[in-house]
Structure 1
Amino acid sequence: MDLLERKRPTPSLGGLGKRARKRVLSGAIGVNPRRRDDIRGAKIVLVDDVLTSGATSDACVRSLKRAGAAQVVIACFSRVLDEARDLV
């Protein structure tokens, strides 16, 4: 579904820390105006392939909650732990 949209281009987040990722994504992801009515009161499952810092998922959840989503749950296939990032 197209509930969310990228409001502006962003650079690759690879190699950026959590704060930098959050800064890059600030205001970059928003709700598709045509889907606002679909979001209000909805329970939404947000699917993410790899959850690294959580900055992208946080930006998406924040936009969905602001638009009135009752609940947003994140389902991810893989999670990169802080300890693993230190090894790279």
Structure 2
Amino acid sequence: MVRYNDQSSLIAMRLKYGTRLGLARLIAEHMQEFVGECSDDATIVPVPLHRSRLWSRGFNQSVLIGRELCRNTGIAMNYNLICRHKATPPLRGMTGKERQKTVDTAFALRGDARPSIAGKSILLVDDVYTSGSTSSACARLLKKAGAKQVLVFCWARVISEIENG
């Protein structure tokens, strides 16, 4: 993971909004160095997009990153375990509390997901970790379904001045 700054945000934004899909490979290569911390039964689970955002963007950047991580490591990926059943506004510019309230109930487990999660280590893949609200909402569902552990793999993390100081 890298610190979210002008350079790392440019890479994330070019992938997400500039359709520079090859950047998913670069991001996955950086994540790959942490795979050794995962157990043999790990499954990659990308953070899902709501179908309206998927239709407008044409792809889910977390799925692209997860696919490259899967290809590079041999770890299985399942992008059908969690769905984002509520459309949410873009989180950019929201406070941590606003983000948490917005995404808290936005995700749900797919009906047949529990057997694929129970007892497994999950690598939850996302592009940017800002407040942790999205990751926490997804991790809560995965843990409730019996995941042994949930490890958050992201490209860049926003470090606040409070955390840094």
**TM-score w.r.t. length of structure 2:** 0.48
Instruction: Compare the two structures and name the one with the higher strand fraction.
Output: 1
Correspondences of 1:1-88 after superposition (within 5 Å): 1=78, 2-83=80-161
Cα distance in 2, alignment partners of residues 44 and 33 from structure 1 = 18
* SS at 2:87 equivalent: coil
| Cα distance in 2 between the residues matched to 1:30 and 1:65 | 12
Runs of 4+ in 1 over 2 A off after TM superposition: none
Deviations 1:13-41, CA, capped at 9 Å, x for gaps: 11100000000012111211122210111
TM-aligned CA deviation for residue 76 of structure 1: 1.2
Residue by residue over 1:38-77, the C-alpha shift from the partner in whole angstroms, topping out at 9 and shown as x without a partner, is 0111111111111111110010101100111111111111
Gaps of 5+ in 1: 84-88
Which has the larger share of helix? 2
Partner Cα distance (2:98, 2:138) in 1: 16
Aligned-partner residue type, residue 24 of structure 1: T
Structure 2: gaps (5+ residues): 1-77
Q: Among the aligned pairs, what percent are the same residue?
A: 43
Aligned equivalents of 2:85 and 2:104: distance in 1?
Answer: 10
Mark the structure with the bigger radius of gyration.
2
Separation (CA, whole Å) in 1 of partners of 2:129 and 2:104: 17
The whole-number CA distance in structure 2 between the counterparts of 1:34 and 1:11 is 28
Q: How many residues align?
A: 83
What is the CA RMSD across the aligned residues, in angstroms?
1.0
- Distance in 2, matches of 1:67 and 1:29, equals 13
